[in-house]
Amino acid sequence: MKLTFDSKNSMSNKLFPGLKWRGNIYVALVLSLLLVMVVYSVSRLGFYVFNTSYFPDMTVARLLRIMGGGLRFDLSATLYSNSLFILLMILPLTYRFNAYYKKILFWIFIVVNPLAFAINTADFIYYRFTLRRTTVSVFSQFKNEENLGLLLLRFLWDYWYAVLFWIFIVVVFYFIAKRIKFSGPQLSSKISFYGYGVLALLLCIYLFVGGARGGFRSSTRPITLSNAAAYAQVPNDINLVLNTPFALMRTAKANVIEKVNYFGSEQELEKIYSPLKQPIDTTAFNRQNVVIIILESFSKEFVGAYNKEIYDENYKGYTPFLDSLIGVSYAYQFSMANGRKSIDAMPSVICSIPSIEVPFVLSHFSGNKVNSLASLLKQENYYTAFFHGAPNGSMGFDAFANLSGFDNYFGKTEYNNDDDFDGIWGIWDEPFLQFFAYKMNTFKQPFYTTLFTVSSHHPYNLPDQYEHTFKGGPRPVHRTIEYTDMALRKFFKTASSMPWFENTLFVITADHASAEITVPQYNSAWGYFSIPVFFYHPGINGGGLKPEIVQQIDIMPSVLGYLNYKKPYIAFGRDIFHNGTKPFAFNYLDNTYQLFQGDYLYQSDGSKPIGLYHFKKDKYLKNNLMNQLADTVRDRDIHLKAFIQQYNNRMVDNNLTMEGSQLKKILKK
């Protein structure tokens, strides 16, 4: 067989003069796949250029290691996405050399790969919001969005430079791909043609399997996202090593959570850490109302009260009302989110269940029975309701609210006035917070409600009447933060005149930190999770900021502790109002488990330590103390493994409530 290239005066010849190869169909196949690989490498550089601030102190040697390691994942993605093209190329049939067949091959190749490139390029931007490569969970996350088309168009408009990058690589890809051609076989007999064809088919299948799996040894497990850590100097580099099509394909059927057994017995495990809460306070149950407000993308860097050390005592930030509220609340300097997505926040805040890798609500275990503030307080005759100004069904919040045991859900439909719709995400925060206040005024006490705001979300629009009201800061998000802070001020003013207000515990937090980072110190493994978490009760001065660690999963047990709830329950966080468990925070970033305890941030891949940092002083996490503080590493590692074992094993065994069979055995002992 011969591989020839058309030398006619075509556009591709003008763009690439003198670019001529000769060979057979298998050479053409290899060249085609190499072309895809080259585009992935170029895109990896593009990913880095678009997100340089997330990869500080990059060196040439470090980048070369990332680029080299990325080839392994690019090969796997290339083979999987081009499997049909490869199969049609290697079938030992003479029809492969028919002109129409060649056109079909070409268009399969030229359609499939640019789609994969588009997915990869989209993560240039989406990565800033999640800080990890997009996995298959993204489809479940957005499946209920009514305005998905409008959102997509807005993102394409706002991030036109990423679209331009994709168009450029696709155009270059197309014209080079047109040059790769092959001619018919030049073998002497049909026996030779089919004989060599079958051998080539078997060889190609063998090479395909090895390339797609990441190795040829029978002991080699197919490579997955965690293998990228081998080429990463710091955990964040993992996202550069990977490509998004690979991440999507590898998580399509992934069962991320598996049972682990770090400890020899349940008794040993329970001594170190247990999510079983058995209240011993003999004080009478306090039937107060509870209102939790979850603010969209409210990073701590936006709030003046949290940043006096970074700036000075006069720093104002963008939330003057929240600052005044924090001053009289039970508030904590080191407050953390347990995830990076809105859907991570729901189970963390309401059920004290963090997410590991895949958000709990999208995992294989999302159907597990859970206890929540709603379900537990309903047993105490509370009325419960969840409020979210987005179109009903957005983010699956209504479904999770139902799973959690809320009596009612109030969304855009129940608000019933599209004049206040922002056109993309939902009802503007100011009118919806007023709706929230007046609706609660109709509820029988005691009640428990949760509200999720929407306005401080990309594309960071404001209502027309406020277009020139808020000065903001260097990023568009700052104006929307100021707007929502103003909306909160008006909400509390309205609520303060209502009969239920004085008998209410308010909890204010955020779903996750914003992707818009302007304070350098927050561009770190602790800054990515730094959000407000504080508790306010009218008429009670909580004392303001305390130098303590608190996290989203502490909210549920702390609320129950504040109310003097008597019955046992499961919660992975701690009750901050009653001494007992050491303050800690847990989150998961770049396939790395993070434990904040005392002055230190401990990082592990689940089997061995990765880093130990004095995160309170070493804001940029430059000084890894892992080799200098062996005892501290050992202590943190034991606590982290106890947390992981409790989480994983209870998740797999559907043992997240008092009805769990394992828990019953423990309680009988």
Q: What is the mean pLDDT of residues 258-263?
A: 90
CATH for the stretch 274-579: 3.40.720.10
Between 91 and 477, the more confident residue is 477
User: What's the pLDDT score for residue 1?
Assistant: 37
Residue ranges of E strands in 279-329: 289-295
Q: How far apart are CA 263 and CA 669, in angstroms?
A: 18
C-alpha separations of 249 from 47, 115, 120, 246, 300 in Å: 19, 14, 12, 5, 35
The reported pTM is 0.82
Q: Are 601 and 616 in contact (CB under 8 A)?
A: no
Pull the structure tokens for residue 127.
């990565």
Q: What is the mean pLDDT of residues 294-317?
A: 88
Residue 390 backbone phi and psi in degrees, to 5: -75, 165
Q: What angle do CA 275, 276, 277 make, to 5 degrees?
A: 110
Look-up of token digits 């309401």: 350
Q: What is the mean pLDDT of residues 425-439?
A: 97
pLDDT in tens, 203-212: 888 888 888 8
Between 593 and 312, the more confident residue is 593
- The residues, any chain, with a CB within 8 Å of residue 163's CB and separated by 6 or more, are 121, 156
Give me the helices (H) in 82-98, please: 83-90
**Highest-scoring range by mean pLDDT, 3-12, 54-63, 165-174, 364-373:** 165-174
User: What's the pLDDT score for residue 144?
Assistant: 72
Q: How far apart are CA 262 and CA 644, in angstroms?
A: 9
pLDDT over 60 (residue 7): no
**Highest-scoring range by mean pLDDT, 192-196, 360-364, 410-414:** 410-414
Q: How far apart are CA 262 and CA 643, in angstroms?
A: 10
User: What's the pLDDT score for residue 558?
Assistant: 97
Bridge partners (DSSP) of residue 587 are 594
User: What's the pLDDT score for residue 31?
Assistant: 94
Residue 76 backbone phi and psi in degrees, to 5: -60, -45
Q: Are 583 and 548 in contact (CB under 8 A)?
A: yes
Q: How far apart are CA 454 and CA 45, in angstroms?
A: 34
pLDDT over 50 (residue 13): no
pLDDT over 70 (residue 255): no
Q: What is the mean pLDDT of residues 632-658?
A: 94
Q: How many helical (H) and strand (E) elements, i.e. helices and strands, does the chain have?
A: 22, 14
Could you tell me the residue ranges of all domains in the chain?
11-250, 274-579
Q: Are 214 and 220 in contact (CB under 8 A)?
A: yes
Q: How confident is the model at residue 186 (pLDDT cuts 50, 70, 90)?
A: low
Pull the structure tokens for residue 267.
């008794």
Q: What is the mean pLDDT of residues 621-642?
A: 96
Question: By percentage, how much of the chain surpasses pLDDT 90?
Answer: 64
Residue 244 corresponds to which amino acid?
T
